[in-house]
Amino acid sequence: MNELDHQLEKILITEDEIKKKVQELADEIDTAFPPGEEIIMICILRGAVVFMADLARCLERQVTFDFMDVSSYGSGTVTSGVVRIIKDLEEDISGKNVLIVEDIIDTGLTLKYVVKVLKTRKPARLKVVTLLDKPERRVTEFKADFNGFAIPDMFVVGYGLDYAQKYRNLPYIAVLKASVYS
């Protein structure tokens, strides 16, 4: 995919920049959890699949994978703040080291809810990593423990992120043209 798709404005973060950042995040995560202890990585479907696959391979310890699918009620770009679990975890996380892996934090509502729910299951440690963050869009206070790139308020796709389920397989992060969704 050498040519930029006609719906895309520009490349915001290149494949090389992502690769470097993923390794940096993995190093931070390895330092933050007790040495040698296993981590359950929880992928928030579907956007975080690509990031989690790469991140896992940069971590210097045993990890296991689990998946959670959540959706927020509301239409279009407006979320109501009510989040629903569509697919819950398979594993019992009590007493375990848990890392929630997210692609992007926007309003912060999804992760705030997921963290609240998972804390009630008494993990030994619960931390959050996000590749991207749009701090300007926050409607509730939320900060991840490990942050990749802070980006402006624009709609981005690629490296797992979609627009209408498209573009997830781009190896870079690109900005969607505003004319496509407005």
- Choice among 30, 66, 69, 106 that is catalytic: 106
Residues 6 or more apart whose CB falls under 8 angstroms from that of 17 comprise none
When the beta carbons of 27 and 65 are compared against ligand IMP, the nearer one is 65
Among 47, 123, 148, 158, binds ligand IMP (CB under 6 A): 47
Query: What DSSP string describes 41-98?
Result: EEEEETTTHHHHHHHHHH-SS-EEEEEEEEEESSSTT---S-EEEEE--SS--TTSEE
Burial-class residue 49 by CB neighbours within 10 Å (0-12, 13-18, 19+).
Answer: middle
Among 55, 114, 156, 174, binds ligand IMP (CB under 6 A): 156
Q: How far is residue 29's CA from residue 49's CA, in Å, rounded to a whole number?
A: 18
When the beta carbons of 95 and 171 are compared against ligand IMP, the nearer one is 171
Among 8, 161, 170, 174, binds ligand IMP (CB under 6 A): 161
Give me the count of residues in the chain.
182
Three-state SS string over 56-69 comes to: HHHCCCCEEEEEEE
Q: What's the min distance (Å) between Cβ of 62 and ligand IMP?
A: 27
Tell me, residue by residue from 62 to 81, as one string, x for binding to ligand IMP by CB under 6 A and - for no binding.
----------x------x--
Q: What's the min distance (Å) between Cβ of 91 and ligand IMP?
A: 21
Q: How far is residue 102's CA from residue 114's CA, in Å, rounded to a whole number?
A: 11
Q: Does 155 bind ligand IMP (CB under 6 A)?
A: yes
Q: What's the min distance (Å) between Cβ of 57 and ligand IMP?
A: 22
**Which residues inside 95-154 make contact with ligand IMP, applying CB under 6 A?**
102-110
Q: Does 69 participate in catalysis according to the annotation?
A: no
Q: What's the min distance (Å) between Cβ of 36 and ligand IMP?
A: 31
Interface with ligand IMP (CB under 6 A): 47, 72, 79, 102-110, 155-157, 161
| Catalytic positions | 106
